[in-house]
């Protein structure tokens, strides 16, 4: 009798655990490794007559529940903040935002997309956080010719082998994140490096890109370890890393993983002895308060920082804090820029979104100075070309703050290699 109960309990708990497959870490940039066949788009498509007076409908598929809810919330806040500044109007048309929950579930998100396309007849799609979800939406977007501005999901293939004429990405690729630190780490940190990253597709992609740039510069990798995503305890990994006596450590963790890893890095006495470098999620704006003083001294690369000293960033932060009474995060700026990019596309077309080819071409011409610095698109890969910054965490009056200490310069994703 009790056996049956345990079995039932296990089935329940495990099914739940599987549902949130890579959802163990609270705010990780998600990636998945699904292999969808590359369906080619049917050539014919019934173009509707331009309805310039009707509002432009933008569908946003973002996580509003589950472990990534805070990312979805910040992306939406950024998006809505931008539309506020233009009075929810661009190219002479009203903007209407329709939000759907991506549920961190590729199949559920695909159903939401079909609803957005068939019932709401959206003109633009933006989102999602999970790369697995983005891959699942890819074929439908491609065949229905829906201009799709990816505002977070960072898996490399979305603008490479799984790319589409209608997909543009304004956030980042894992390649941009990892590659940007390679040469800088060799020049300024150490000639030998130990790698540690969460064991999922995105973590591997970031580390591979870092390795590529670091070894090309002449650096040597002395060891690597991949703890599972959402590990409770990094004690054994940290003891192992310390035992290997590396000159420096490059780490990729995000969300709750980053909090645990960085805190335990200090508790196990590695902080201050072995320099810790990584991606900007290691010491991100929204998790540093939870890390206490442990992130002090981390050097990371990211495409935006709260303390980036430009008039655009200052204005953005002021407006954001006024509206939401909270500091913006990396995701907030992603949402804000996605809003502006879509508005710029609408302006350049005078609100006429009837010709999907013209709409997607208009994305390629968008270029402006965002709070994160000058951004533009690579018309070949459909990927954003942006500045990456070197960010260091400092301790000030018992609290940590980030500081931009250097710039990597413009980083362009190479596309299919």
Partner 1 sequence: MDILAIQLVNGLSYGLLLFMITSGLSLIFGIMGVLNLAHGSLYMVGAYLALGITKHVAPSFFAALLLAPLLVALFSVILEVGLLRPTYRLGHLSQVLLTFGLAYVVHDLVRWIWGSSVQSLSIPASLGSSVELFGQTFPIYRLAVMGFGLIVAAAMWFFQEKTRWGAIIRAGLSNREMVGGLGINITVVFTVVFAIGGLLAGIGGVAAAPILGLFPGMEFEVLILALVILVVGGLGSITGTLAASMIIGVVDTFGKVMFPQLSLMIIFGLMALVLIVKPTGLLGKQVN
Helices (H), 92-170: 106-115, 131-144
The answer to whether residues 105 and 362 touch, using CB atoms and an 8 Å cutoff, is no
| 6 interacts with partner 1 by CB under 8 A | yes
| 321 interacts with partner 1 by CB under 8 A | no
Look at the alpha carbons of 278, 69, 382, 406 in this order and tell me if their dihedral is positive or negative: negative
How far apart, in whole angstroms, are the C-alpha atoms of residue 201 and residue 132? 10
| 222 interacts with partner 1 by CB under 8 A | no
Looking at the Cβ atoms of 9 and 315, the one nearer to partner 1 is 9
Q: Which of residues 240-279 bind partner 1 (CB under 8 A)?
A: 240, 242-243, 255-256, 259-260, 263-264, 267-270
Looking at the Cβ atoms of 259 and 366, the one nearer to partner 1 is 259
How far apart, in whole angstroms, are the C-alpha atoms of residue 66 and residue 27? 10
How far apart, in whole angstroms, are the C-alpha atoms of residue 318 and residue 325? 10
Q: Which is nearest to 105 in space by CA: 20, 229, 33, 25?
A: 20
The answer to whether residues 210 and 245 touch, using CB atoms and an 8 Å cutoff, is no
Q: Under rule CB under 8 A, how many of the chain's residues touch partner 1?
A: 56
| 45 interacts with partner 1 by CB under 8 A | no
Q: Which of residues 59-78 bind partner 1 (CB under 8 A)?
A: 66-67, 69-70, 73
39: CB partners within 8 A, 6+ apart:
139, 142, 143
Looking at the Cβ atoms of 88 and 268, the one nearer to partner 1 is 268
Q: Concatenated DSSP letters for 154-222?
A: --GGGGTTT--TTEEE-S--HHHHHHHHHHHIIIII-SEEEEEE-BSHHHHHHHHHHHHHHHHTT-EEE
CB of 66 to partner 1, least distance (A): 8
How far apart, in whole angstroms, are the C-alpha atoms of residue 129 and residue 151? 8
Only segment of 45-53, 142-150, 174-182, 284-292 that touches partner 1 (CB under 8 A): 284-292
Only segment of 132-140, 231-239, 335-343, 347-355 that touches partner 1 (CB under 8 A): 231-239
CB of 40 to partner 1, least distance (A): 36
When binding is defined by CB under 8 A, the residue of 286, 334, 337, 413 that contacts partner 1 is 286
| 4 interacts with partner 1 by CB under 8 A | yes
Q: Which of residues 196-215 bind partner 1 (CB under 8 A)?
A: 199
| 33 interacts with partner 1 by CB under 8 A | no
Site residues (vs partner 1, CB under 8 A): 1-6, 8-10, 12-14, 16-17, 20, 23-24, 26-27, 66-67, 69-70, 73, 199, 225-228, 230-233, 235-237, 239-240, 242-243, 255-256, 259-260, 263-264, 267-270, 286-287, 289-292
């Amino acid at each position: 009798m009790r056996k049956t109960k345990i079995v039932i309990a296990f089935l329940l708990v495990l099914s739940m655990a599987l549902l949130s497959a890579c959802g163990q870490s609270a705010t990780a940039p998600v990636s998945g490794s699904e292999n969808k066949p590359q369906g080619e788009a049917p050539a014919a498509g019934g173009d509707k007559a331009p309805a310039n007076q009707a509002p432009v409908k933008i569908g946003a598929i973002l996580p509003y529940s589950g472990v990534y809810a805070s990312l979805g919330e910040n992306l939406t806040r950024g998006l809505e903040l931008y539309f506020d500044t233009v009075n929810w109007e661009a190219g002479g048309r009203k903007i209407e935002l329709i939000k759907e929950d991506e549920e961190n579930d590729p199949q559920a998100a695909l159903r939401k997309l079909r609803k957005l396309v068939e019932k709401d007849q959206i003109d633009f799609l933006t989102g999602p956080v999970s790369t697995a979800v983005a891959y699942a939406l890819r074929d439908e977007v491609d065949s229905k010719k829906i201009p799709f501005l990816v505002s977070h999901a960072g898996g490399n293939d979305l603008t490479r082998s799984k790319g589409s004429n209608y997909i543009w990405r304004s956030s980042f690729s894992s390649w941009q994140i990892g590659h940007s630190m390679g040469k800088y780490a060799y020049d300024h940190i150490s000639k030998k490096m130990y790698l540690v990253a969460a064991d999922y597709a995105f973590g591997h992609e970031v580390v591979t890109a870092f390795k590529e740039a670091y070894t090309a510069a002449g650096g040597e990798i002395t060891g690597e370890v991949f703890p599972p995503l959402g590990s409770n305890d990094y004690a054994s990994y940290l003891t192992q890393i310390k035992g290997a006596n590396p000159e420096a450590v490059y780490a990729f963790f995000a969300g709750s993983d980053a909090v645990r890893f960085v805190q335990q890095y200090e508790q196990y006495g590695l902080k201050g002895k072995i320099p810790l470098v990584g991606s900007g999620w290691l010491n991100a704006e929204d998790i540093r308060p939870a890390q206490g003083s442990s992130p002090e001294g981390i050097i990371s690369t990211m495409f935006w920082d709260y303390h980036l000293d430009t008039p655009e960033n200052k204005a953005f932060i002021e407006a954001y804090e006024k509206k939401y009474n909270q500091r913006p995060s990396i995701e907030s700026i992603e949402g804000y820029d996605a809003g502006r990019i879509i508005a710029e596309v609408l302006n350049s077309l005078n609100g006429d979104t009837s010709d999907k080819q013209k709409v997607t071409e208009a994305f390629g011409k968008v270029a402006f100075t965002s709070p994160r610095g000058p951004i533009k698109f690579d018309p070949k890969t459909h990927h954003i070309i942006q500045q990456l910054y070197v960010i260091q965490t400092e301790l000030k009056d018992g609290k940590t703050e980030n500081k931009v200490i250097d710039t990597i310069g413009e980083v362009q994703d190479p596309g299919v290699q």
